[in-house]
Structure 1
Amino acid sequence: MSDLRFSANLGFLWTDRSLPDAVRAAKVAGFEAVELHWPYETDTAQLKAALAETGLPVLGVNTLRGDVAAGEFGLAAVPGREEEARRYFERALGYAEAIGVANIHVMAGKSEGTAARQCFIDHLRWARDLAAPKGVGILIEPLNLRDVPGYFLTDCAAAADIVADCGGSGIRIMFDCYHMQIMGGDIVSRFQRFRDVIGHVQFAAVPDRTEPDHGELDHAWLLPELLRAGWHGFFGAEYKPRGKTDIGLNWMTQFR
């Protein structure tokens, strides 16, 4: 279990602090990387300074969701919104370059059908070709329909087909155990099936998405199983703390 490496998702952890201070808190807590949701209002110089101070890599950022008040959750697979989706990606890429981010999670949005699928593929190919020369990868993530009704991408098999149709290189799947459990379970087998196209792994308790020390998934068993199944990357802690983040970190010691 000593091979488990954890990344703190600062979209949920230490949200009572500024993002640079959250990076510092993650370092103190023993995380070995961080990942972000929508950091775009944070000054890049301040954030870059905190990253340099701690030595923590940034594994990913998300593209913007769109009109959050209207329930939008990304635009990349929404026909008719291509221009906005491209602007969102360009903003994410510029931010990624400024602070040194490994991947951009391209949020598909709420849509369905063949036109939406083609729209998504066209956008991903364009985004990949723009990001690859800068050393930035592309991630797509199947989400569960309980939390995000109407989301375009909900299934690992469908995501793998899209990666293949995009030509494979430069685009990978974000495999979130929380979403996978809600959308069918059988996590280890699904991970093994799609291992070659998985670019990041995340986790949280199911069903409440809090600390991974309870619920339907035994993470102390599951995460080492994913290591044995061939995963060599970080495990992203993307959960919503029940209280103060620091109080709920005992799981990290237990898992290791």
Structure 2
Amino acid sequence: MIRLAANLSMLFTEHDFLERFAAAADAGFSGVEYLFPYAYSPDTLRSALEASGLQQVLFNLPPGDWEAGERGVASLPGREAEFRDSVTEALRYAVALDCPRVHAMAGLIPEGADESTRQAHHATYVANLRFAAREAAKLGREVLIEPINTRDMPRYFLSHQDQAMAVLQEVGEPNLRLQFDLYHCQIMEGDLVRHLECQFEHIGHIQIAGVPERHEPDVGEVHYPAVFERLKELGYVDWVGCEYRPAGNTRAGLAWGRPFGLRPE
């Protein structure tokens, strides 16, 4: 059976961040993910995990200046030294939190970027990911890349599944894997089950949300029971991150997860 991880950047926001760990555990989650851990010390986060009996399953590398609108630096020419520092910092947290994987956000391309600019971003991205994967391999960790839809994140460098697969092949490191977000894929391409089937051997993590509003996965145009059944048939037994924005109170909206052990109010 798949294991559900609560994304604490989106779920249980009725609570202060450090209180969300206990709330997630009480609701039946066994793992957690979130955008970034860096506002807290590794010891503080480790204590929250241990007190709640939760496993840390994913977080992102430092993204650059998030408040100024940056969304990662992995593909940004001229920011290579910053990216390498971000890898070191993320892996420090990953080891302290016993987290097996980290996500390297690609970053945004300039408005109206021409082909030469895109090629420069691509070359930077490949080189940076190769460095990150090799550093992570020394510590037994994986690095993930994730296509993100350009409606929610305009100008994001990595937005399609075939682009991600080409990058994985070019980098050529076995611990560089795909973060398959069904919400983003549905918006950009659809045909979710076929994409899962074709890319299954490269998937290191899956995330879900309802489409188009990014609310609970039992609302919207994706029939997740069929998707979960196909994942079961494919043999997926790893984590599924619940990266959605609850339409109301988080706990009240968890009825969809009863088959996986979640406990609504």
Aligned to 1:249: 254
Aligned to 2:114: none
Aligned ranges 1:170-249 → 2 under 5 Å: 170-249=175-254
Aligned to 2:112: none
Cα pair 1:142 1:159 within 8 Å, conserved? yes
Task: Report the alpha carbon displacement of residue 166 of structure 1 after superposing the two structures with TM.
Answer: 1.3
Matched residues, number? 254
Cα pair 1:212 1:251 within 8 Å, conserved? yes
Task: Report the alpha carbon displacement of residue 105 of structure 1 after superposing the two structures with TM.
Answer: 0.1
Task: Report the alpha carbon displacement of residue 160 of structure 1 after superposing the two structures with TM.
Answer: 1.2
Structure 1: state its 5+ residue gaps.
Answer: none
Aligned to 1:138: 143
Whole-angstrom distance in 2 between the partners of 1:139 and 1:120: 13
Structure 2: state its 5+ residue gaps.
Answer: 110-116
Task: Report the alpha carbon displacement of residue 88 of structure 1 after superposing the two structures with TM.
Answer: 2.0
Whole-angstrom distance in 2 between the partners of 1:50 and 1:156: 35
**Could you tell me which of 116, 137, 150 is aligned with 2:121?**
116
Determine helix, strand or coil for the equivalent of 1:34.
strand
Whole-angstrom distance in 2 between the partners of 1:52 and 1:70: 34
Name the TM-score, length of structure 2 as normaliser: 0.91
Whole-angstrom distance in 1 between the partners of 2:139 and 2:237: 23
Identity among equivalent positions (%) equals 39
Question: Which residue type is aligned with residue 104 of structure 1?
Answer: V
Aligned ranges 1:62-101 → 2 under 5 Å: 62-101=60-99
**Could you tell me which of 26, 34, 37 is aligned with 2:35?**
37
Cα pair 2:4 2:260 within 8 Å, conserved? no
Task: Report the alpha carbon displacement of residue 174 of structure 1 after superposing the two structures with TM.
Answer: 0.3
Task: Report the alpha carbon displacement of residue 204 of structure 1 after superposing the two structures with TM.
Answer: 0.2
Determine helix, strand or coil for the equivalent of 2:204.
strand
Whole-angstrom distance in 1 between the partners of 2:94 and 2:2: 26
Aligned to 1:102: 100
Distance change (3 Å), C-alpha of 1:244 and 1:156 = same
Question: Which residue type is aligned with residue 20 of structure 1?
Answer: L
Distance change (3 Å), C-alpha of 1:255 and 1:97 = closer
Post-superposition Cα deviations, 1:178-204, rounded to whole Å, max 9, x if no partner, equal: 000001100000110011111001100
Cα pair 1:13 1:241 within 8 Å, conserved? yes
1:166 paired with 2:171, answer: yes
Cα pair 2:32 2:56 within 8 Å, conserved? yes
Name the TM-score, length of structure 1 as normaliser: 0.94
Report the more deviating stretch, 34-43 or 208-217: 34-43
Aligned to 1:12: 10
